[in-house]
Structure 1
Amino acid sequence: MIEALRVAVAEHQATIGLVVLGLMFLGFVLERFPATVVAILGTCAFLFLGILSGKDLFSVFSNPAPVTIGAMFILSGALLRTGTLDAIANRIIARAQQHPRLALVEMFVGVYVASAFLNNTPVVVVMIPIMMKLAGALGLSAKRLLMPLSFVAILGGTTTLIGTSTNLLVAAVADANGLDRFGIFTITPVGLVAGVAGVTALLYIARRFLPDEAPNQIALSQEHRGFLSEVRIVKDGTLVGKPVGEVPFLKRANVKLVGLKRGATLRRTGIADEVLEAGDLLVLRLELAELLSLRENRNVVIGLTAGHDDIAHDSEEIVEAMIAPSHPAIGRRLIEIPFLSALRVRILGVARFRKTPGPDLPNARIQAVDRVLVTGPADQIEQMYANPHLYGVGSTTEREFRRSKAPLAIGALLAVVLLAAFNIMDIGVAAIIGVGFILVTRCIDADEAWDSIDGNVLVLIFAMLAVGLALENSGSVALIVGELTPLLRDVPPWALVIATYVVAGLLTEIITNNAVAILVTPLVIALARELGVDPYPLVIAVMFAASASFATPIGYQTNTLVYAAGNYRFADFLRAGIPMMLVVGAATCAAIALLV
């Protein structure tokens, strides 16, 4: 019985491979399970049927593309950790205060360039709150800007080989199929044409097809996500005698000055020119990463204590805790909270959902579900865990910026790009060396480096590489090519490019882009060889179509990010994305036909 089943599978494995592929495609579309799970189940099916051997399965782990992609994730994570992207955002916000529209143009240019050399997902993550603030400065709805942010990041990512994981993946599959290796700027001419066409179309589409709600509606809901804190100016610090408006950390986008407290007087306006004195208190609202970074500033003492100013900085632990509704101090001032006087700890800040406590840190009256950030010696912090009136006491997952390491992280990325661009070193090897450099120089800690890798992406890639190998081994690819060849025998090369782009582009809108890249690339290479045409234009068409996902929020990661942040409807992406697909697709196919 089993032997007969094996014989039947062997005789019809090409057809069986297509059936498995069809079921996987259905799984991708229905989304009952994550794409990674569907890909793994497909791999298991091929293993169970004997179409894919164990040796074949493990051979996919020697593919350099996933390793290179993981290394680029870590390099992008180092730029986030060192505050490089944050510093760029700060400059944009500073410019926006004087020239909002010019700052908007500069921001989109910056996103485009950054996405060409970094993974565009973290770029969009960083820029979403910045875009919301710009929307407020321009009097626009954030919905008019967030979707263009994603689209520009996608266009930037298609400009170089390392701009997206899809580009690297297609290049690796092409290399495995015997094509010459792609250089880091091989696709740049086509990418620039597509970028210019896409941005030009976006100027019209953003005005005509994007929702126009009340200005700053979304931004207001995001405005109060930070912590209220305060810093005391130390006597021997460099800030004494300096105007408030010239304090460096107050110029950062995610730090807002609430007021200046001198003695018992709290001033909220007209303080930019006020000269700081020792003992002055600056009341701030700032994001958690900035709050933690300020602890390293020796010119200020941050937070609130009950007279315990002798806490050793190097022995401190930091935890977050939520005030329980049963807390006996609800409604009282923060300075009166019991554990502050009972323990040698310092409250660094307090946060409240969609509101800012106040008027300052000691006089903020606590409410249920407020979050407090507390630091102190380990033995003191340990006692907080037993407090029944504090929920979720635990170490904060946020880290302070390591801004002094930013030149090292930038240099590592530039070195990787230059080594690959001048063919001095393979891009994967250069990226791994770059990762080693940023780890040893402490631009990013090892645990953060591994956390910056999107495991879902890598697992999906490995699983789909195994599926692609199974389809090739089973003869499914040859079967498809055999059926298509007579139909396409007399089709001119430029029409083949268009057909490839359309098929890959439509598939990308409904299933994950990396899956499309792995499945379609070997198919078009085999088809091109059978037809006797150059496979490179078709491979490049797959590379661009698999990334240029505009019409749905599920086709590309950055679309999904802004879909949630901007509270868009699915139809919003259809209205704006379909014209983008048509314009970018036409420009890309024309550029491939003329330039490749």
Structure 2
Amino acid sequence: MISEMQLVFLILAITTICFLVPRFRADLVAAIALLSLLLTGLITVPEAFAGFSNTVVIMVAALFIVGEGVFQSGLAQKAGNLLIKTTKNSEWKLTVFMLILVAVLSGFISNTGTVAILLPVVVSLCRQMQLHPGKLLIPLAFASSMGGALTLIGTAPNLIASESLQDAGYGALNFFTFTPIGLIMLLVGIIYLWFVGRKMLDKPIDKRAGESEKFNAGELVDQYGLTDHIFSVKIPEGNELIGKSIKELRLPSTYSLMMLEVIKKESKSFKRLTGSRQAHPISVEPTYVIEADDIFVVYGEGEAVERLMSDTGALPVKNATHKIEESHLAEVILTPQSRLINKTIREVNFREKYGLTVLAMKHQFEDARRFSDEETLLYGDAILVHGNWKEINLLSAEKNDTVVLKSAAEDTELTNQTHKSWIAGFILLGMLLAMVFEWVPAVVAIVVAAVLMVLTDCVRQTDQAYQSINWQTVILIACMLPMATALENTGGVTFISEGLIGSLGVIGPLAVLAGLYAITSLFSQFISNTATAVLLFPVAILTAEQMGVSPIPMVMAVAFSSSMAFATPVATPPNAMVMAAGKYTFLDFIKVGIPLQILIALVAILLLPMFFPF
């Protein structure tokens, strides 16, 4: 007969395996695990849903709203602009200042959001300085993880560590408890990434990817293999298409063609006024009504274009030099939590939702190709889109789903509301001061800051505040907390703790701390660092109590180890985000990440007992 403890371990093992399968969403796996524990009677109903009222869950959700206010107000973008002004074409300045900036920002707001803001900035700077983006993007992701460990609110495991110690009767950690060791880790990480990691990632510049300082649409079109699919056709006087809208033609369904842009016939007076003979193309809307002498930039197969001209009387443009307008193109990558993943272009209504046309896509480790409506968007995909610069900037504001990597689109008021940045800055500063000096409980300070971000229009709409919350993380934490409760109730925590003490306790508490760090580090490479931390904090506390030592260094070892996950692209969302942009392979993360993983582990194991004696 299987015991209750064995049943918990069985459910935990199945849950861990499901976490490893990319097809399964982590939050759904955690919810099913929660129901399994409840239906088998291993936990009670109050215990099952206690996680949803846990202050850590509330703080994590509110911090996403605070971070959204920082992004929408333009405060984070100012940090990116500061990076541009400071580097001045120096690779040393770019690398070091980028690492420091992303680490500092990640210490106070979401590291995923920070990378989303700085990723296109760093790619643009690399293009200007003739550097391959892959040389700097893994360091960018790693620095965001190290920065998250600098403060209490930098990452969810730190918040859970403080809550776990408080629940066990040892008092909560203060805002800067993690900072001294976190700063040393960051310094060691920067030194390693500059002298070692950067050289491992040194790649030749892809000539097709562009070496010019300025965004070049032609290079991007060539990189995605679209050069032979762009054509120009003219609508002559008296043609049957004149007076019809683009939507009426049903070109995608009839010919598998898309009208991207139109060059209007200009009057002679306008030419004399502007002194220009070159007409600027405008993006074609479905409601656009065709006029005589319109020249259209068409995207599709050559045979389909010839069939269109044969059927309608449209004419080819001889010696055409028309190219896609630069401000109408953008390269986009999907974020790890994107709602578009595993859906087709048709299912997400991409054109209707964003006002943009998908031209081509690149799956991981595959060549770019034309898309079809039934093409499924996958984790790590990069896509090339076309549309008005206003729509491109609207898409760039969708930080939860996409990151615009390359674009020549102009800034809009939506993405650059600098007059709100000071307000957001004061709210963030007030929240930090309230937490540092403990004027109010941490959860109160964070929730008040989130509400103020909405009331002051730093987050422009309440709906956007809700959308900014990464519900996958919130549900994951709330559903995994009862797993730790079940382990405690059935003696599972005691079993793991006694195993650690039995194998390493003879050597001493430092060996046990190292063992905890290693176990956490291994799990966090493949499953959520939050889920790993939730499960191992009770083990750390009980192990310390059984050995008669302080649990604080043990708990902090688990917290640091769960955040320092560098060896795989799936270890953290920032790792996943830079994979497509830097054209990395799995091996790139292994060869750069594992040495850093070991180096940071040694620093933590040696320093923790010095700062927090057993």
Distance in 1 between residues matched to 2:358 and 2:154, nearest whole Å: 46
CA contact (8 A) 1:218 1:566 kept: no
1:510 aligns to what SS in structure 2? coil
Distance in 1 between residues matched to 2:102 and 2:115, nearest whole Å: 8
- The counterpart of 1:92, out of the listed 73, 83, 86, is 83
Instruction: Identify the residue that residue 491 of structure 2 maps to in structure 1.
Output: 475
Distance in 2 between residues matched to 1:421 and 1:465, nearest whole Å: 26
Instruction: Identify the residue that residue 501 of structure 2 maps to in structure 1.
Output: 485
Instruction: Identify the residue that residue 264 of structure 1 maps to in structure 2.
Output: 274
Distance in 2 between residues matched to 1:367 and 1:573, nearest whole Å: 30
State the Cα deviation string for residues 364-403 of structure 1 (Å, max 9, x = none): xx9998524789xxxxxxxxxxxxxxxxxxxxx9944322
CA contact (8 A) 1:115 1:123 kept: yes
Q: Tell me the amino acid that sits aligned with residue 352 of structure 1.
A: L
CA contact (8 A) 1:322 1:370 kept: no
Distance in 2 between residues matched to 1:217 and 1:587, nearest whole Å: 42
Instruction: Identify the residue that residue 250 of structure 2 maps to in structure 1.
Output: none
Instruction: Identify the residue that residue 407 of structure 2 maps to in structure 1.
Output: none
Distance in 2 between residues matched to 1:166 and 1:13, nearest whole Å: 27
Shift of 1:481: 2.5
Are positions 1:54 and 2:42 aligned together? no
Are positions 1:412 and 2:427 aligned together? yes
Question: Equivalent residues in 2 for 1:268-347 (5 A)?
Answer: 332=295
Are positions 1:107 and 2:98 aligned together? yes
CA contact (8 A) 2:568 2:586 kept: yes
- The counterpart of 2:586, out of the listed 563, 570, 578, is 570
Instruction: Identify the residue that residue 148 of structure 2 maps to in structure 1.
Output: 157
Distance in 1 between residues matched to 2:77 and 2:128, nearest whole Å: 19
- Measured on the aligned residues, the alpha-carbon RMSD in Å equals 3.5
Distance in 2 between residues matched to 1:413 and 1:219, nearest whole Å: 39
- The counterpart of 1:553, out of the listed 569, 586, 604, is 569
Shift of 1:352: 3.4
The gaps in structure 1 that reach 5 residues or longer are 1-7, 227-260, 269-280, 284-302, 305-319, 335-347, 356-365, 376-396
State the Cα deviation string for residues 483-529 of structure 1 (Å, max 9, x = none): 44333432312222211111101110111101101001111111111
Q: Tell me the amino acid that sits aligned with residue 185 of structure 1.
A: F
CA contact (8 A) 1:349 1:374 kept: no
Are positions 1:442 and 2:447 aligned together? no
Instruction: Identify the residue that residue 554 of structure 2 maps to in structure 1.
Output: 538
Q: 1:135 to 1:44 in 2, by over 3 A?
A: same
Q: Tell me the amino acid that sits aligned with residue 491 of structure 1.
A: I
Instruction: Identify the residue that residue 473 of structure 2 maps to in structure 1.
Output: 457
Instruction: Identify the residue that residue 429 of structure 1 maps to in structure 2.
Output: 444
Q: 1:353 to 1:146 in 2, by over 3 A?
A: closer
Instruction: Identify the residue that residue 317 of structure 2 maps to in structure 1.
Output: none
CA contact (8 A) 2:152 2:176 kept: yes
Shift of 1:208: 3.2
Q: 1:98 to 1:503 in 2, by over 3 A?
A: closer
Instruction: Identify the residue that residue 58 of structure 2 maps to in structure 1.
Output: 67
Question: Equivalent residues in 2 for 1:508-519 (5 A)?
Answer: 508-519=524-535
Count how many residue pairs are aligned between Structure 1 and Structure 2.
463
Shift of 1:214: 1.4
Distance in 1 between residues matched to 2:558 and 2:480, nearest whole Å: 16
Distance in 1 between residues matched to 2:61 and 2:419, nearest whole Å: 25
CA contact (8 A) 1:194 1:587 kept: yes
CA contact (8 A) 2:504 2:511 kept: no
State the Cα deviation string for residues 417-466 of structure 1 (Å, max 9, x = none): 11111122222110111112121111112111111111110011111112
Shift of 1:567: 2.0
CA contact (8 A) 1:158 1:164 kept: yes
Shift of 1:16: 1.0
State the Cα deviation string for residues 124-148 of structure 1 (Å, max 9, x = none): 0111111112212332110000000
Instruction: Identify the residue that residue 42 of structure 1 maps to in structure 2.
Output: 33
State the Cα deviation string for residues 3-30 of structure 1 (Å, max 9, x = none): xxxxx67xx1011111111111122223
Distance in 1 between residues matched to 2:358 and 2:172, nearest whole Å: 60
Identity %: 28
Distance in 1 between residues matched to 2:574 and 2:124, nearest whole Å: 19
Are positions 1:351 and 2:322 aligned together? no
Distance in 2 between residues matched to 1:367 and 1:40, nearest whole Å: 34
Shift of 1:52: 1.5
CA contact (8 A) 2:59 2:447 kept: yes
Distance in 2 between residues matched to 1:527 and 1:452, nearest whole Å: 38
Q: 1:567 to 1:100 in 2, by over 3 A?
A: closer
Shift of 1:32: 3.8
Shift of 1:82: 0.7
Q: 1:455 to 1:328 in 2, by over 3 A?
A: farther
Q: Tell me the amino acid that sits aligned with residue 438 of structure 1.
A: M
Q: 1:129 to 1:352 in 2, by over 3 A?
A: closer
Shift of 1:207: 3.5
The gaps in structure 2 that reach 5 residues or longer are 219-270, 298-324, 333-356, 360-384, 392-411
Distance in 2 between residues matched to 1:535 and 1:187, nearest whole Å: 15
Shift of 1:49: 0.4
Q: 1:353 to 1:51 in 2, by over 3 A?
A: same
2:497 aligns to what SS in structure 1? helix
Shift of 1:333: 6.8
Q: 1:41 to 1:267 in 2, by over 3 A?
A: same
CA contact (8 A) 2:103 2:148 kept: yes
Distance in 2 between residues matched to 1:185 and 1:565, nearest whole Å: 33
Q: Tell me the amino acid that sits aligned with residue 100 of structure 2.
A: V
Instruction: Identify the residue that residue 401 of structure 1 maps to in structure 2.
Output: 416
Instruction: Identify the residue that residue 581 of structure 1 maps to in structure 2.
Output: 597
2:458 aligns to what SS in structure 1? coil
Q: 1:207 to 1:103 in 2, by over 3 A?
A: closer
Shift of 1:551: 0.4
CA contact (8 A) 2:505 2:511 kept: no
CA contact (8 A) 1:223 1:354 kept: no
Q: 1:407 to 1:327 in 2, by over 3 A?
A: same
TM-score by structure 1 length? 0.71
Shift of 1:169: 2.2
1:141 aligns to what SS in structure 2? coil
